[in-house]
C-alpha cells in the first residue's frame, strides 16, 4: 500500500507542477503578446515619423531646387543682357 500512496503523491506533485508550468506558460504568452503589440505600435509610429521626415526633406529639397533654378534663370538673363549690351557697343 505504501507504493500506491507514493505513486499518488508523485502523480499529485506532477499534476501540480504541470498546472504551475501551464500557468507560467500562459503568463509568458500573454507577456509576449503584449510586448509584440507594443513593438508593432512602436514600429508603426517610427514608420509614420520617418515618412513625415522624408516628405519634409523632399519638400525642402524641391523648394531649394526651385530657388536655385530661379537664380540660374536670373543669371542667364543677366548674361544675355550683358552680351547684347557688349555687342551693341562693339
Would you say the pTM of this structure is higher than 0.75? no
Helices (H) and strands (E) in the chain, counts: 1, 0
Q: Quote the pLDDT of residue 88.
A: 84
HSE (CB half, 13 Å, CA atoms) of 32? Answer: 6
What distance in Å separates the CA atoms of residue 41 and residue 7, rounded to the nearest whole number? 50
Question: For 31-86, what is each residue's pLDDT tens digit?
Answer: 999 999 999 999 999 999 999 999 999 999 999 999 999 999 999 999 999 999 98
Task: Please give the grid coordinates belonging to residue 67.
Answer: 530657388
**Burial status of residue 72 (CB atoms within 10 A of its CB: 0-12, 13-18, 19 or more):** exposed
Amino acid at each position: 500500500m505504501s507504493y500506491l500512496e507514493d505513486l499518488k503523491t508523485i502523480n499529485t506533485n506532477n499534476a501540480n507542477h504541470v498546472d504551475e508550468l501551464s500557468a507560467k506558460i500562459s503568463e509568458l504568452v500573454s507577456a509576449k503578446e503584449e510586448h509584440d503589440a507594443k513593438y508593432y505600435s512602436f514600429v508603426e509610429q517610427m514608420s509614420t515619423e520617418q515618412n513625415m521626415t522624408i516628405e519634409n526633406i523632399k519638400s525642402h529639397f524641391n523648394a531649394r531646387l526651385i530657388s536655385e533654378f530661379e537664380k540660374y534663370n536670373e543669371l542667364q538673363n543677366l548674361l544675355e543682357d550683358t552680351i547684347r549690351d557688349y555687342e551693341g557697343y562693339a
